[in-house]
A and B are shown apart, each in its own frame.
Chain A
């Protein structure tokens, strides 16, 4: 099963490499990884999506918790949560394609954020499935470049991941 694990860790040199190294060292799988500082400059938040059965996910969370730099973590997929990823995509847009791409973008509630006579650059946020669907809808022959941020997530309701 796919899991989204969100981690608060010390914002220190080497912390990220320890997390990433752990995944390769122990043969765990990383699908996406996303990391940035938080409102507290001493902490960064890292979100990783991974797949594995219950035993593997249990090992992943235990091994992550064991890293000294990891302060706290949560497996968001254990509860109700919101997941978002951002996509930037550059597509060919000439002739009839321009209208078609624009319409598809609107349907997915994306925004065209840069334009040239032959190119649109589009921004779209959503869960990973929505981004996949949008890329599919655009069709591979229009795609010039695809950039995805990787998933970040947050629990629904009262639950908060903080110190």
Chain B
């Protein structure tokens, strides 16, 4: 029933790992050919693969794991998806119903374990319920503010003694769950009035625009208003970053001009971002002169961390449509923004050319210049997946995205190890697209066993390992806050990545001087059908800047090791 349902639901790939409690399901998978199963090497990787796929395509990722350790291994991936509102359905095998509660072999209360990190969860109580429960799981995972849904399936539910008729439930109705639709027209009018009057406005887009497939409407709104546009880390790609209205993303390591503009603005129009602490810095000092319009599908996101002047609960798409049509109707000129734009350009100019010193010739490269080189060689068109650390921030700062869904990173949870499996999930489903993983030697080692999965299924991702021989981001904080006492942040005894990667049958390359950078990258990306791992030795002393000062306002930033605002 489960496999028939998944096929009918249009699921092409699922990611998982077998075990006792899931074996009936695995047998059913074996006896059909519509739903393909990808065997990972660790259940966490299955969840990240499903997650990467979901982020790139907007469709829900599907995971299948066994009970107990299989399910608990998936927990980090579920939490990662939860924090970034990624649609995912995780099917967990469970011990037989009559054994539940008896500490049976491989029994874990996975519903209990995952309760705070799922949008919802179900336990199958009767085999006949399977299609409807799964339908509800997919419905909940994909609608409203998306998120992961766990379905716990006791083994006896998948081998019933009686036969039950299978009917694919076309519709689902739940009295206790109605995703929000259009925003309140009065509130939208208020927001538009503010937009008509603002002298120092800023548009702030979040991951909700990407998830809600409304980036085009967002761009139309920006064009119509000529407002400067910033995004959250998750919103990168919602607005073309090479466009002149884009002022970069904001927050802890966001652009100088975006953070300055936020602080000095008189109107922030936020669509689909949740004002988390890495975006706002100290909320008490946040945007002191701005009125704030906040559009979100999730009412609980509004007013959670900061006060909001015009809350609008609705889908980004519908609210943007309503805003655009209202703007067409309203009379009257908007204030001239040229002074505001001039100010922003000054901020921008004051920083350009001073962001980092690229290395030359035989020097160890700066991680920033490697990302810029990757951007060039992929013509800015790649799907870029990252792990977590300095390399992640450098990737976000120096790879410019012009399209949504191509920036794939664990923002909310910051999960090291996310990168490789997520990149695999993207590549498997988008074989014709360039998929690059930008990782660090620390993060990569958390999921490197998946190189094996890549060999099995022929998944030719390109891996750029920004190897600074240290847990760089931790080291940076230790430099700044602990007088450079580098407690446990130096990764000693690194493997010979080249040999390691080659032992799985992949191609490995190494760059240790600036002169080789472009040529080796060209060579790596020319190998279309191969997984290529490029080990790039970068300067371990480099820090990520700007960096907002703890407890400061948006505009309080360290700009280099010696300068601050």
* Distance of A10 Cα from B175 Cα, bound (Å): 9
Contacts of A66 in B (CB 8 A): 298-300
Q: Please tell me if A136 contacts chain B, counting CB pairs below 8 Å.
A: no
Q: Is there contact, CB below 8 Å, between A14 and B174?
A: no
Contacts of B119 in A (CB 8 A): 68
The verdict on A18 contacting B115 (CB below 8 Å), with A68-B120, A70-B176 known, is yes
How many residues from B make CB contacts under 8 Å with A? Answer: 18
Contacts of A21 in B (CB 8 A): 115-116
The number of residue pairs between A and B whose CB atoms lie closer than 8 Å in the complex comes to 36
Q: Is there contact, CB below 8 Å, between A62 and B299?
A: yes
Q: Please tell me if B288 contacts chain A, counting CB pairs below 8 Å.
A: no
* Distance of A27 Cα from B112 Cα, bound (Å): 18
Contacts of A63 in B (CB 8 A): 300
Q: Please tell me if B123 contacts chain A, counting CB pairs below 8 Å.
A: yes
* Distance of A25 Cα from B116 Cα, bound (Å): 7
Within the complex, the shortest CB–CB distance from B152 to chain A, in Å, comes to 10
Q: Please tell me if A113 contacts chain B, counting CB pairs below 8 Å.
A: no
Interface residues of A in 1-45 (CB under 8 A from B): 9-10, 13-14, 17-18, 21, 25
Within the complex, the shortest CB–CB distance from B168 to chain A, in Å, comes to 22
The verdict on A17 contacting B176 (CB below 8 Å), with A58-B303, A59-B300, A68-B119 known, is no
Q: Which residue of A lies closest to B302 (CB)?
A: A62
Contacts of B176 in A (CB 8 A): 9-10, 68-71
* Distance of A28 Cα from B300 Cα, bound (Å): 14
Contacts of A69 in B (CB 8 A): 176
Q: Please tell me if B528 contacts chain A, counting CB pairs below 8 Å.
A: no
* Distance of A21 Cα from B111 Cα, bound (Å): 12
Contacts of A55 in B (CB 8 A): 303
Within the complex, the shortest CB–CB distance from A72 to chain B, in Å, comes to 8
Q: Please tell me if A96 contacts chain B, counting CB pairs below 8 Å.
A: no
Q: Is there contact, CB below 8 Å, between B116 and A62?
A: no
Q: Please tell me if A107 contacts chain B, counting CB pairs below 8 Å.
A: no
Q: Please tell me if A147 contacts chain B, counting CB pairs below 8 Å.
A: no
Interface residues of B in 116-137 (CB under 8 A from A): 116, 119-121, 123
| Known contacts A17-B112, A25-B116; 19 further A-B pairs (Cβ under 8 A) | A10-B176, A13-B123, A14-B121, A14-B123, A17-B115, A21-B116, A58-B303, A59-B300, A59-B303, A59-B304, A62-B299, A63-B300, A66-B300, A68-B119, A68-B120, A68-B140, A68-B174, A68-B177, A163-B175
**Chain A residues close to B by CB (< 8 Å):** 9-10, 13-14, 17-18, 21, 25, 55, 58-59, 62-63, 65-66, 68-71, 163
**Chain B residues close to A by CB (< 8 Å):** 111-112, 115-116, 119-121, 123, 140, 174-177, 298-300, 303-304
The 3 closest A-B pairs by CB, nearest first: A62-B300, A71-B176, A68-B120
